[in-house]
Amino acid sequence: YDHMLDQLGRHGLFDLTVKTEGDLHIDTHHTIEDTALALGAAFKQALGDKVGIYRFGNCTVPLDESLAQVTVDLSGRPYLVHTEPENMAPMIGTYDTTMTRHIFESFVAQAQIALHIHVPYGRNAHHIVECQFKALARALRYASEHDPRAAGILPSTKGAL
């Protein structure tokens, strides 16, 4: 999971330092979940009032035989659509690959964003998971950047996000 968090910071250009303590003597579930919840809350806080941002972002990232397509809307409404290849290996070292979706669910719940992740194909579980984090990082980066043509403007016709 640390490697995936590194991808989020590196490819999103986010100054990301994570220190998590948890009940690893039981398993990694709660520690990973709590980290994702905290990251989502921190991302929401960092966005501030969202004035002048692009709001929408998308990115497609290949990693060898795997491909991830990610689209985000920093809408203030949490929603996740997540698809990845079936029959993926259940573990990557000590990382339970079923946690990937749960990480995104937890992040979305706290960040209050709409997130669509589609992995149409891939064979290597590590590549499938990693390209999702890289594509998410880039999509978040693009969506949260300031649009020089929209300075002082909230990117919503409703007047609220």
pLDDT band of residue 90 (cuts 50, 70, 90) is very high
> Which residue ranges form the domains of the chain, and what is each CATH number?
2-150 (3.30.230.40)
Report the distance separating Cα 156 and Cα 161, nearest Å: 7
Mean pLDDT of the region 70-81: 98
pLDDT band of residue 16 (cuts 50, 70, 90) is very high
- In 3D space, the residue among 140, 133, 121, 137 whose CA is nearest the CA of residue 32 turns out to be 133
Report the distance separating Cα 124 and Cα 91, nearest Å: 11
| Residue 63: pLDDT over 90 | yes
